[in-house]
Structure 1
């Protein structure tokens, strides 16, 4: 069985020789061996080129399906929702965006009703059936894009 590839040598092979000698020579971690390192670095550099030459690559267009994602701006844990937004995607591209809104004073029921209205609006606008969000992403409140925002007072 062949010896496994050394990840340290793989990274080193991408460096210029002078930088590799400084990093791994006597001033560095001491693993530089002039008898073997030049050949090993060459092997690792050309290995990826040789392997990629043997493998054919094809491009297949991904299926173009509609899906909606929901972005929730909140702190981790059981903290209240600060803001939210949504996007409608077709395949690999977003095609429609609900601008973010603050959720101050909205109850859980009102937020749920609002997110359902957003799905219905996306579905009506593009003539598709959307029953739920494909994914929900929680983003920390400090990244809230809504202005003005209590977290980002104007200077």
Structure 2
């Protein structure tokens, strides 16, 4: 089995020789070896060029399907929900967004009702059928985009 490529050498091969000697020579991290580094740098440069030249790239259009995604701003575990937002995607592009709202004082039942209303609004706006969210992402409340926010009073 061949030896795996060294990522450090791959990055070094992209640098000019003078800069590589400064970074990796005696004043740098000390890994520069004049007996092997010139050949190795050449090998890595040619290998990268050869591999990219041998691969053909194709594109296949992914299926365009409507999906709803729910964003929950909360701490991991059994912690209260800080805020929530949603998006409607068609294929690989978001097409409609519900701006996030704070969930202060909302019970689990009211949050469930609200998220169901969001699905119904997406469905009626685009004349489609949506029964559930395709995915839910939990995001740390420190990334809450709602302003003003008690977690980010300076912003």
TM-score (structure 1 length as normaliser): 0.90
- Partner deviation per Cα, 1:16-43 (whole Å, 9 max, x = no partner): 2222212221223322121221121111
Counterpart-to-counterpart distance in 1, 2:30 and 2:18 = 14
Q: Is 1:52 the equivalent of 2:48?
A: no
Question: Shift of the alpha carbon at 1:134?
Answer: 1.3
Matches within 5 A, 1:5-24: 5-24=5-24
In structure 2, the partner of 1:73 is 73
CA-atom RMSD, angstroms? 1.7
In structure 2, the partner of 1:103 is 103
Question: Shift of the alpha carbon at 1:99?
Answer: 1.4
Q: Is 1:116 the equivalent of 2:116?
A: yes
Question: Helix, strand or coil: the match of 2:120?
Answer: helix
Gaps of 5+ in 2: none
In structure 2, the partner of 1:144 is 144
Question: Shift of the alpha carbon at 1:142?
Answer: 1.9
Question: Shift of the alpha carbon at 1:66?
Answer: 0.6
Counterpart-to-counterpart distance in 1, 2:2 and 2:111 = 59
Distance verdict in 2 for CA 1:106–1:18, change over 3 Å: same
- Partner deviation per Cα, 1:38-85 (whole Å, 9 max, x = no partner): 121111012111111111111111111110111111122222111111
- Partner deviation per Cα, 1:65-123 (whole Å, 9 max, x = no partner): 11011111112222211111100000111101111111111101111111111111111
How many residue pairs match? The answer is 155
Q: Is 1:64 the equivalent of 2:48?
A: no
